[in-house]
Amino acid sequence: MTTELRRLRNYIDGEFRDAADGRTTEVVNPATGEAYATAPLSAAADVDAAMAAAEAAFPAWRDLVPAERQKVLLKIADRFEERAEELIAAESENCGKPIALVRSEEIPPMVDQIRFFAGAARMLEGRAAGEYMDGFTSIIRREPVGVCAQVAPWNYPMMMAVWKFAPALAAGNTVVLKPSDTTPASTVLIAEIIGGVLDELGHSRGVFNVICGDRDTGRLMVEHPTPAMASITGSVRAGMQVAESAAKDLKRVHLELGGKAPVVVFEDTDIAKAVEDISVAGYFNAGQDCTAATRVLVHESIHDEFVTALAKAAADTKTGPVDDEDVLYGPLNNANQLAQVKRFIDGLPAHAKIEAGGHQVGEKGYFYAPTVVSGLKQDDEIVQKEVFGPVITVQSFRDEDQAVEWSNGVEYALASSVWTKDHARAMRMSKKLDFGCVWINTHIPLVAEMPHGGFKKSGYGKDLSGYGFEDYTRVKHVMTSLDG
């Protein structure tokens, strides 16, 4: 007996629509490996329609006083809370994520982040007006950039959608947002929620649009002449392609790309506490997090003890179905990602040692065991490249200088952490580590008030915080003569 697949649709100018040419793609639940829905495979006509809707809605939305945009965002946050169970179900099916963890670890921060940006809408900052030339007063205006083309990833489809639309809308921009082709369900539900709020409060529903599709759809969005800004969270390759494409018409670009976070553990660390926290930060969301604690550098004097403890923590960590409240993480997102993780493990050099895991779990879905690999060298592929799976590597370092050299010796520069009781050493390391975030004696907490973003091939621009809000604005100088 064949189960009928649910039909997801684009949301353009307040209407749910199929792709103009009718093409679709199947959406697979990674916990089962089976298709549960179809989504539009949007092409140029769909992108044109979404951009036209956003462009038409922009002047009125831009000209609202910030307090009015704040009302909209606060109402959206309220609706997220009211419809939390629907969002949880959609995200769990999207990603195979444990229901209990989506409820506790994603819904509350998402709601908080929307409310933060609702407040940020009313805190536009600039230099004080003043006379910097005799007879003239200068004023700074901070304005929205226009229509924003935004592409969200598949590891946190809901939360990354929030990180994109909330600051953009708060600043007065209009949005065309594309979810990953493997995880469109929760974003389509978000469109329904936001569209309902806009309609209820009397604003154009063209302020927020969602189109589903693949990489070609994203490419068409970035290449389109309408958007003033392109924002993407994704791979380094995708980010470089977006930057190259956007350069052709000088679009502003916001890129949050890959990571390979070093976790530097010194000899004075409480090993048991560090292992407990690092294993959670490395395996949460199946390690599919660009800030995940997956590259541990531990001082040689405690290396063996640390590896033994970490391997035990891995063995005690559970992956499994969405309704099991004892699991820390669910499956990898898709078959290609599972194959990539397997390739890294199958291709380990002879000097590497698998201390725990290293294998697929179960016959259904894309589950992979919590894995620890030791004995690695700095130039090994698994140390240099992002695995994006539940795999923690361990290297042994001899002193602080080597720890810094190896930490910085990758092409990514998003996040890092230092574990030590020595305050002066922690401060030295935080200065020397070339990463957008340095955690001390913790790894992975984020707050709406603080920026998230990296350097080097991890991209540029900031998510969250006032800095993230400012990324969606432009600065204008207005000078007036005092002669009247």
What per-residue confidence (pLDDT) applies to 1? 46
Is the pLDDT at 163 greater than 60? The verdict is yes
Do 231 and 269 have their domain in common? no
- Looking at the structure of the chain, the number of domains it has is 2
Of 454, 449, 451, 436, the closest CA to residue 113 belongs to 449
Domain boundaries, position 126: 6-257+458-477
113-127, 210-224, 436-450: segment of lowest average pLDDT: 113-127
Do 246 and 275 have their domain in common? no
What per-residue confidence (pLDDT) applies to 2? 54
Pairing between strand 252-256 and 262-265? unpaired
Is the pLDDT at 361 greater than 90? The verdict is yes
What per-residue confidence (pLDDT) applies to 315? 98
Do 208 and 95 have their domain in common? yes
How far apart, in whole angstroms, are the C-alpha atoms of residue 200 and residue 196? Answer: 6
Is residue 453 in a domain?
no
Mean pLDDT value across residues 72-90: 98
Strand ordering across the sheet containing 6-7: 6-7, 34-40, 24-29
Which pLDDT band holds residue 125 (cuts at 50, 70, 90)? confident
Is the pLDDT at 209 greater than 60? The verdict is yes
How far apart, in whole angstroms, are the C-alpha atoms of residue 213 and residue 406? Answer: 39
Do 155 and 179 have their domain in common? yes
Do 267 and 238 have their domain in common? no
Which pLDDT band holds residue 207 (cuts at 50, 70, 90)? very high
Is the pLDDT at 40 greater than 90? The verdict is yes
Do 296 and 176 have their domain in common? no
Do 251 and 305 have their domain in common? no
Q: What is the CATH number of the domain that holds 361?
A: 3.40.309.10
Do 237 and 283 have their domain in common? no
Which pLDDT band holds residue 484 (cuts at 50, 70, 90)? confident
Do 206 and 165 have their domain in common? yes
Do 239 and 164 have their domain in common? yes
Which pLDDT band holds residue 202 (cuts at 50, 70, 90)? very high
Q: Do residues 412 and 437 touch, judged by C-beta distance below 8 A?
A: no
Query: What's the Cα-to-Cα distance from 65 to each of 57, 69, 121, 158, 422, rounded to whole Å?
Result: 15, 7, 9, 27, 49
Do 251 and 306 have their domain in common? no
Mean pLDDT value across residues 40-61: 98
Catalytic residues: 256, 290
